[in-house]
Amino acid sequence: MPQHGKKYIAAAKLVDNTKLYEPSEAVTLVKATSYVNFDSTVELHFRLGVDPRHADQMVRGTAVLPHGTGKTVRILVFAQGDKAREAEQAGADFVGSADLVKQISEGWLGFDVAIATPDMMQAVGRLGKILGRRGLMPNPKAGTVTFDLARTIAEVRSGRVEFRVDRAGLVHVPVGKVSFDEPSILNNVAAMIEAVSAAKPSGVKGHYMRTITLASTMGPGIRLDLSAAQALRVA
């Protein structure tokens, strides 16, 4: 078993593991329990009542966080011709076609989000093994395969995040930084819970959301009261 340090133990003592916290109370607590010497990320962790092995229980989507993630995102766009110019004008960090496919196949991965126009997917598909396991593969369901490049790039810049359930039925997503004020974090939490709720697949039986936990990077988890969390709305 891994041993926790003194700072973690002191932070964990502030959290009552038998209690389900109101969202606003949890946000206050997540800031108080961040003990690292950098601006840590605030994360939401969902445990869902789904079996991702079945196609009709896969959970995947995007959410636009009203206050962003606090992270500088490097955007790569696979496009050519007029669409490449559109991507450049919209502020994409890297734009190209076969040249980018070659760079990535040789090991370069200096970006955080990849977007592609539909006509580029045949070429991009060759990178499936490289991009897929890193969660970087453009996907129509995530809105990253599109001809509407200007809007998509603007959304990613402003705080759009992608989420996807893992094999264990868990979803892990960032919802800001500890340095954000409490109303901003709470608003981002509300937006993410709404998005995951809206992504409920048709094949789910019984309870969809089992638990929702808020935590900072390396900090202790704070369990949310499900009813109060699902009642949140973006202000």
Q: Note the pTM of the prediction, 2 decimals.
A: 0.82
Q: How far is CA 48 from the centre of its chain?
A: 16
Q: What is the pLDDT of residue 215?
A: 97
Q: How many residues does the chain have?
A: 235
212-221 confidence digits (pLDDT tens):
999 999 999 9
CATH code, 6-69+160-230: 3.30.190.20
pLDDT for 2 equals: 58
Q: What is the pLDDT of residue 159?
A: 87
Q: What are phi and psi of 189, to 5 degrees?
A: -60, -45
Q: Residues in the chain with pLDDT < 50?
A: 1
For residue 74, the Cα-to-chain-centroid distance in whole angstroms is 15
Parse the chain into domains and list their residue ranges: 6-69+160-230, 75-157
CATH classification number, 75-157, choose in 3.30.470.20, 3.80.10.10, 3.40.50.790, 3.90.1580.10:
3.40.50.790
Please tell me the number of Cα atoms within 13 Å of 179 on its side-chain side.
Answer: 9
